[in-house]
Amino acid sequence: MALSIFFSLLCSISGVCKVDPPQPLPPVPSPQQLKWHQLEMGMFCHFGINTFHNEEWTDGSKPPETFNPTDFNPFQWAEVAKQVGMGYLIFTVKHHDGFVLYPTQHTEYCVRNSPWKGGIGDAVKEVSEACKKAGIKFGFYLSPWDRHDHRYNDNKAYDEYFKSLLRELLTNYGEVFEVWLDGAGTEGHTYDWEGYYSLIKELQPDALIAICGPDIRWVGNEDGFAPESVWYVQEKEGKRVWWPPECDVPIRKEQWFYHTDGEKRLLSLNSLLNIYYRSVGRGAVLLLNVSPDRSGHLPEPDVKRLLEWRAVISEIFKDNLAISAKWSASNIRGNCSEFAPDNCRFENDGKFWTTDDGVKKGYIALKFEKPIGFDRVVIKEHIELGQRITKHSVWIKKGGNWEKVINSTTIGYKRIHLLPETKCKEVKIQIDESLEVPIIEFVGLYLSSPKDLKVSKK
């Protein structure tokens, strides 16, 4: 204790911080997982032979001749993804039907035998190049379950086939950000998962393996909703590992593939906002599916809805009212400006607020000259050093008394709270319980736009 008082004094006199940042609380995210958290949202594109049959799961018997997009345009997909703030795109290279969208050497059930581009088309090449051009990351979905391939009944032969597809995909198309291994239909079949993982890691060590994989887990539903409390650290085979959830959901209710009569299923703006708040706003990553139509374009109504959604989100989170506050905190590590609460003014500058060793509770207080009105609170934990906070609350000062307006649990990469519009001059973000000293890197207060979700006073 005496030593920390000494260092505090030294810091405030000299202005140079003599105290180290807190030790990481393992497990922490890998650099690739951290990058994935930072992207917040990705676009899923289900496209394949199903697209031409108005079916979600064809049974592997549809002839390759039926695959024939008239104007395959992944540049449009990638551009739209970029415009709406999605940092990556996952393309379905082979769905459960087994039809492969690049000219593989390992099956005849692939685009080579379709009329598309006279049989010389390569959809994976075009999609990966489009992503590169738009400046977003490229990933692919590859269904382990295969309803077409005769080798499926022979585990060893099928594993070899699956690995040869992985080998082609991971060597011929540049950087792969995420490999999405779907669990559907896999029950009762034995796969060489470990062999798949080691091949992926050998060919592209930075690729994240999702769902039936060690790097990203499925959130557990297809509604785009993460639970109230999101924990990244999970127990796997007796080991605690960083295994964060991804929320996948289609923009057309329950339809992953394009259906000619599916437009009426397009989610409303409110549903999409709700999904945003319950996925990204709870610290998970959102993977929103938008399916290209039979021409090979994202349908116009879907694009319009996406842009509308993006515009509302950008509008709400445009002005962080907290910037103009006077910031203070219950405790500042080493009393040093390097760890002061006003480091939480701006996002993504690497700076944070934290406390002295052993101080696991505390608060950041914001004081304004004039009352402000806000109805959205954003808080971000510095997850690079581990996820720590288990309970937190938000308080406002009303008529001289502190009143709790939010009582919550985890924070994680990002937490967004919605509350009825509140006017006050003082706000407190309180850490009520944390596994180790709390580390907060951002606090924002916002007033929503009239188009955003309404939050009732009750």
Residues that bind ligand FUL (CB under 6 A): 56, 182, 184, 248, 256
Under DSSP, is residue 31 helix (H, G, I), strand (E, B) or coil?
Answer: helix
How do beta strands 239-242 and 233-236 pair? antiparallel
User: 255 — phi, psi (to 5°)?
Assistant: -120, 115
Q: How far is the CB of 56 from ligand FUL (least distance, A)?
A: 6
Q: How far is the CB of 128 from ligand FUL (least distance, A)?
A: 19
Closer residue to ligand FUL in complex, CB, 54/229? 54
Closer residue to ligand FUL in complex, CB, 9/184? 184
Q: How far is the CB of 222 from ligand FUL (least distance, A)?
A: 7
Q: How far is the CB of 180 from ligand FUL (least distance, A)?
A: 8
Whole-angstrom distance, CA of residue 397 vs CA of residue 403: 6
Q: How far is the CB of 19 from ligand FUL (least distance, A)?
A: 47
Distance spanning both ends of the chain, measured CA to CA:
45
Burial annotation 169-203 (CB, 10 A radius, 16+ → b, else e) = bbeebeebbbbbbbeeebeeeebbbeebbebbeee
Q: How far is the CB of 337 from ligand FUL (least distance, A)?
A: 47
For residue 27, say if its preceding peptide bond is cis, omega within 30 degrees of 0: yes
Q: How far is the CB of 256 from ligand FUL (least distance, A)?
A: 4
Q: How far is the CB of 184 from ligand FUL (least distance, A)?
A: 3
Closer residue to ligand FUL in complex, CB, 40/248? 248
Closer residue to ligand FUL in complex, CB, 51/387? 51
Least Cα distance to 142 among 108, 191, 79 occurs for: 191
Q: How far is CA 442 from the centre of its chain?
A: 18
Closer residue to ligand FUL in complex, CB, 182/441? 182
Q: How far is the CB of 240 from ligand FUL (least distance, A)?
A: 27
Closer residue to ligand FUL in complex, CB, 7/256? 256
Whole-angstrom distance, CA of residue 70 vs CA of residue 81: 21
Helices (H) and strands (E) in the chain, counts: 8, 17
Q: And the tokens for 192?
A: 């060489």
Report the phi/psi class of residue 343: left, alpha or beta, with left for phi > 0 and alpha for psi in -120 to 50: alpha
Closer residue to ligand FUL in complex, CB, 248/293? 248
For tokens 């207060």, what's the residue? 445
* Cβ–Cβ under 8 Å, residues 425 and 300: no
Whole-angstrom distance, CA of residue 196 vs CA of residue 201: 9
The residue sitting closest to ligand FUL, measured at its beta carbon, is: 184
* Cβ–Cβ under 8 Å, residues 87 and 39: yes
Under DSSP, is residue 162 helix (H, G, I), strand (E, B) or coil?
Answer: helix
* Cβ–Cβ under 8 Å, residues 367 and 388: no
Closer residue to ligand FUL in complex, CB, 216/329? 216
Q: How far is the CB of 257 from ligand FUL (least distance, A)?
A: 7
Closer residue to ligand FUL in complex, CB, 168/182? 182
Closer residue to ligand FUL in complex, CB, 182/338? 182
* Cβ–Cβ under 8 Å, residues 217 and 245: yes
Whole-angstrom distance, CA of residue 211 vs CA of residue 143: 11
